[in-house]
Amino acid sequence: MQEGLLPLFPLNTVLLPGAPLPLHIFEDRYKEMIGEAIRENSEFGIVLATDKGILNIGCTAVVKEVIRKYPDGRLDVLTVGLRRFEIVLLNEEKAYLRGAVQFFDDEDETPAPESLREAALEACNELRRIEGQEPVKAEDADPSQLSFSLAQAVPDHEFRQMMLRMRSETERMRQLAEFLPFFAARQQRITHIKHVARTNGSGQTTPRL
Protein backbone atom coordinates (compact mmCIF):
# COMPACT_ATOMS: atom_id res chain seq x y z
CA MET A 1 0.00 0.00 0.00
CA GLN A 2 1.04 3.60 -0.51
CA GLU A 3 3.07 4.90 2.43
CA GLY A 4 0.87 6.56 5.03
CA LEU A 5 -2.47 5.39 3.63
CA LEU A 6 -4.44 2.70 5.46
CA PRO A 7 -6.98 0.62 3.47
CA LEU A 8 -10.41 1.10 5.05
CA PHE A 9 -13.25 -1.42 5.31
CA PRO A 10 -16.53 0.27 6.34
CA LEU A 11 -18.81 -2.21 8.11
CA ASN A 12 -21.86 -2.24 10.31
CA THR A 13 -19.76 -3.28 13.29
CA VAL A 14 -17.21 -1.90 15.74
CA LEU A 15 -13.99 -3.88 16.03
CA LEU A 16 -12.09 -3.68 19.32
CA PRO A 17 -8.38 -4.39 19.91
CA GLY A 18 -7.84 -8.10 20.46
CA ALA A 19 -11.31 -9.07 19.22
CA PRO A 20 -11.77 -11.75 16.55
CA LEU A 21 -13.87 -10.84 13.52
CA PRO A 22 -14.79 -13.38 10.82
CA LEU A 23 -15.42 -11.83 7.39
CA HIS A 24 -16.95 -13.07 4.16
CA ILE A 25 -15.27 -11.19 1.32
CA PHE A 26 -17.30 -11.06 -1.89
CA GLU A 27 -16.97 -7.60 -3.48
CA ASP A 28 -14.16 -7.26 -6.02
CA ARG A 29 -12.71 -4.15 -4.36
CA TYR A 30 -12.45 -5.92 -1.01
CA LYS A 31 -11.09 -9.09 -2.59
CA GLU A 32 -8.28 -6.84 -3.84
CA MET A 33 -7.82 -5.17 -0.47
CA ILE A 34 -7.84 -8.38 1.58
CA GLY A 35 -5.66 -10.16 -0.97
CA GLU A 36 -3.02 -7.46 -0.52
CA ALA A 37 -3.32 -7.68 3.27
CA ILE A 38 -2.77 -11.44 3.11
CA ARG A 39 0.22 -11.25 0.76
CA GLU A 40 1.94 -8.49 2.71
CA ASN A 41 0.71 -9.52 6.17
CA SER A 42 -0.42 -5.91 6.53
CA GLU A 43 -3.16 -4.12 8.44
CA PHE A 44 -6.39 -2.61 7.18
CA GLY A 45 -8.86 -0.47 9.09
CA ILE A 46 -12.36 -1.43 10.21
CA VAL A 47 -14.62 1.60 10.62
CA LEU A 48 -18.29 1.79 11.56
CA ALA A 49 -20.52 2.70 8.60
CA THR A 50 -23.75 4.57 9.33
CA ASP A 51 -26.47 6.20 7.23
CA LYS A 52 -24.49 9.46 7.50
CA GLY A 53 -21.16 7.97 6.43
CA ILE A 54 -18.24 6.41 8.26
CA LEU A 55 -16.99 7.35 11.72
CA ASN A 56 -13.45 8.66 12.06
CA ILE A 57 -12.31 6.38 14.90
CA GLY A 58 -11.59 2.77 14.02
CA CYS A 59 -9.39 -0.24 14.70
CA THR A 60 -6.95 -1.99 12.42
CA ALA A 61 -7.22 -5.70 11.68
CA VAL A 62 -4.95 -8.38 10.29
CA VAL A 63 -5.93 -11.66 8.67
CA LYS A 64 -5.09 -14.49 11.06
CA GLU A 65 -6.48 -17.32 8.97
CA VAL A 66 -7.95 -17.92 5.54
CA ILE A 67 -10.79 -20.27 6.35
CA ARG A 68 -12.11 -20.91 2.85
CA LYS A 69 -11.42 -19.89 -0.74
CA TYR A 70 -14.28 -20.10 -3.23
CA PRO A 71 -13.85 -20.79 -6.98
CA ASP A 72 -15.20 -17.31 -7.84
CA GLY A 73 -12.59 -15.58 -5.64
CA ARG A 74 -14.72 -15.06 -2.55
CA LEU A 75 -13.01 -15.62 0.79
CA ASP A 76 -13.91 -16.51 4.35
CA VAL A 77 -11.24 -15.12 6.66
CA LEU A 78 -10.71 -14.72 10.37
CA THR A 79 -9.29 -11.36 11.39
CA VAL A 80 -8.30 -9.87 14.75
CA GLY A 81 -8.26 -6.26 15.95
CA LEU A 82 -4.93 -4.58 16.66
CA ARG A 83 -4.50 -0.80 16.86
CA ARG A 84 -6.83 2.16 17.26
CA PHE A 85 -6.65 5.05 14.84
CA GLU A 86 -8.27 8.33 13.87
CA ILE A 87 -8.85 9.24 10.22
CA VAL A 88 -7.47 12.65 9.30
CA LEU A 89 -7.91 12.49 5.51
CA LEU A 90 -9.73 10.20 3.07
CA ASN A 91 -8.33 9.05 -0.26
CA GLU A 92 -10.52 7.61 -3.06
CA GLU A 93 -7.89 6.99 -5.74
CA LYS A 94 -8.28 3.21 -5.57
CA ALA A 95 -11.37 1.01 -5.84
CA TYR A 96 -11.52 0.80 -2.07
CA LEU A 97 -11.33 3.66 0.42
CA ARG A 98 -8.05 4.56 2.10
CA GLY A 99 -7.18 7.08 4.74
CA ALA A 100 -4.31 9.00 6.26
CA VAL A 101 -4.59 8.06 9.92
CA GLN A 102 -3.07 8.78 13.30
CA PHE A 103 -2.66 5.82 15.64
CA PHE A 104 -3.26 6.37 19.33
CA ASP A 105 -2.99 4.58 22.66
CA ASP A 106 -4.20 5.46 26.14
CA GLU A 107 -3.07 8.82 27.49
CA ASP A 108 -3.77 7.75 31.06
CA GLU A 109 -1.87 4.51 31.73
CA THR A 110 -2.84 4.28 35.40
CA PRO A 111 -4.20 0.78 36.11
CA ALA A 112 -7.89 0.62 36.95
CA PRO A 113 -8.60 0.08 40.67
CA GLU A 114 -9.01 -3.59 41.56
CA SER A 115 -12.54 -3.03 42.88
CA LEU A 116 -13.57 -1.49 39.55
CA ARG A 117 -12.00 -4.34 37.59
CA GLU A 118 -13.78 -6.93 39.72
CA ALA A 119 -17.14 -5.18 39.38
CA ALA A 120 -16.83 -4.95 35.59
CA LEU A 121 -15.63 -8.55 35.29
CA GLU A 122 -18.48 -9.87 37.45
CA ALA A 123 -21.08 -7.92 35.44
CA CYS A 124 -19.58 -9.09 32.14
CA ASN A 125 -19.60 -12.73 33.17
CA GLU A 126 -23.22 -12.46 34.28
CA LEU A 127 -24.06 -11.20 30.81
CA ARG A 128 -22.05 -13.99 29.21
CA ARG A 129 -23.86 -16.52 31.41
CA ILE A 130 -27.21 -15.20 30.17
CA GLU A 131 -25.98 -15.48 26.59
CA GLY A 132 -24.69 -19.02 27.19
CA GLN A 133 -21.02 -18.06 26.74
CA GLU A 134 -17.90 -19.04 28.64
CA PRO A 135 -16.78 -16.57 31.34
CA VAL A 136 -13.84 -14.22 30.81
CA LYS A 137 -10.81 -14.82 33.00
CA ALA A 138 -8.84 -11.71 33.90
CA GLU A 139 -5.54 -13.58 33.72
CA ASP A 140 -6.17 -14.44 30.06
CA ALA A 141 -6.26 -10.79 28.97
CA ASP A 142 -3.73 -7.98 28.76
CA PRO A 143 -4.21 -6.11 32.09
CA SER A 144 -3.93 -2.76 30.32
CA GLN A 145 -6.72 -3.67 27.91
CA LEU A 146 -9.00 -5.94 29.91
CA SER A 147 -11.83 -3.49 29.21
CA PHE A 148 -11.73 -4.31 25.50
CA SER A 149 -12.00 -8.02 26.26
CA LEU A 150 -15.03 -7.38 28.46
CA ALA A 151 -16.66 -5.01 25.97
CA GLN A 152 -16.70 -7.75 23.34
CA ALA A 153 -19.77 -9.15 25.11
CA VAL A 154 -21.74 -5.99 24.27
CA PRO A 155 -23.14 -5.83 20.71
CA ASP A 156 -24.30 -2.21 21.08
CA HIS A 157 -22.43 -0.17 18.44
CA GLU A 158 -22.70 3.15 20.26
CA PHE A 159 -21.24 1.71 23.45
CA ARG A 160 -18.42 -0.11 21.65
CA GLN A 161 -17.55 3.02 19.69
CA MET A 162 -17.38 4.99 22.93
CA MET A 163 -15.03 2.39 24.38
CA LEU A 164 -12.87 2.54 21.27
CA ARG A 165 -12.29 6.29 21.48
CA MET A 166 -11.70 6.51 25.24
CA ARG A 167 -8.02 6.86 26.20
CA SER A 168 -8.08 5.62 29.77
CA GLU A 169 -8.45 2.02 30.95
CA THR A 170 -9.87 3.27 34.24
CA GLU A 171 -12.58 5.26 32.47
CA ARG A 172 -13.45 2.33 30.23
CA MET A 173 -13.72 0.07 33.27
CA ARG A 174 -15.94 2.61 35.00
CA GLN A 175 -18.25 2.73 31.99
CA LEU A 176 -18.40 -1.07 31.89
CA ALA A 177 -19.13 -1.38 35.61
CA GLU A 178 -22.01 1.09 35.24
CA PHE A 179 -23.43 -0.12 31.92
CA LEU A 180 -23.13 -3.90 32.06
CA PRO A 181 -25.52 -4.60 35.00
CA PHE A 182 -28.33 -2.71 33.25
CA PHE A 183 -27.56 -4.32 29.91
CA ALA A 184 -27.42 -7.80 31.47
CA ALA A 185 -30.79 -7.19 33.19
CA ARG A 186 -32.29 -6.14 29.85
CA GLN A 187 -30.90 -9.23 28.13
CA GLN A 188 -32.30 -11.39 30.92
CA ARG A 189 -35.76 -9.90 30.32
CA ILE A 190 -35.46 -10.48 26.58
CA THR A 191 -34.42 -14.09 27.16
CA HIS A 192 -37.38 -14.58 29.50
CA ILE A 193 -39.83 -13.06 27.01
CA LYS A 194 -38.52 -15.30 24.24
CA HIS A 195 -38.92 -18.33 26.49
CA VAL A 196 -42.49 -17.35 27.39
CA ALA A 197 -43.31 -16.77 23.72
CA ARG A 198 -41.99 -20.23 22.81
CA THR A 199 -44.05 -21.87 25.54
CA ASN A 200 -47.13 -19.77 24.79
CA GLY A 201 -47.15 -18.64 28.42
CA SER A 202 -48.22 -22.09 29.60
CA GLY A 203 -44.87 -23.77 30.17
CA GLN A 204 -45.40 -25.87 27.04
CA THR A 205 -43.66 -25.29 23.74
CA THR A 206 -45.89 -23.66 21.13
CA PRO A 207 -46.60 -26.25 18.44
CA ARG A 208 -45.40 -25.61 14.90
CA LEU A 209 -48.15 -25.87 12.29
Q: Are 164 and 57 in contact (CB under 8 A)?
A: yes
For position 3, what pLDDT does the model report?
55
Same domain? For 53 and 98 the reply is: yes
Same domain? For 13 and 93 the reply is: yes
List pLDDT tens digits, range 64-78: 999 999 999 999 999
Residue 207 lies in a domain: no
Same domain? For 120 and 173 the reply is: yes
Q: Is the pLDDT of residue 45 over 90?
A: yes
List pLDDT tens digits, range 130-187: 888 888 887 777 777 899 999 998 989 999 999 999 999 999 999 999 999 988 888 8
Residue 205 lies in a domain: no
Q: What residues make up the domain containing 128?
A: 114-198
Per DSSP, which regions of the chain are E strands? 5-11, 20-25, 44-50, 53-54, 57-69, 75-91, 98-104
Same domain? For 17 and 96 the reply is: yes
User: Residues with Cβ < 8 Å from 116, sequence gap 6 or more?
Assistant: 170, 173, 174, 177
Residue 109 lies in a domain: no
From residue 25, alpha-carbon distances to 77, 91, 120 in Å are 8, 21, 35
Same domain? For 126 and 56 the reply is: no
Residue 45 lies in a domain: yes
Paired residues of 57 in beta bridges? 86
Cβ-count burial 49-82 (b if 16+ within 10 Å, e if not): eeeeebbebbbbbebeeeeeeeeeeebebebbbb
Residue 86 lies in a domain: yes
Same domain? For 49 and 135 the reply is: no
Residue 204 lies in a domain: no
For position 136, what pLDDT does the model report?
82
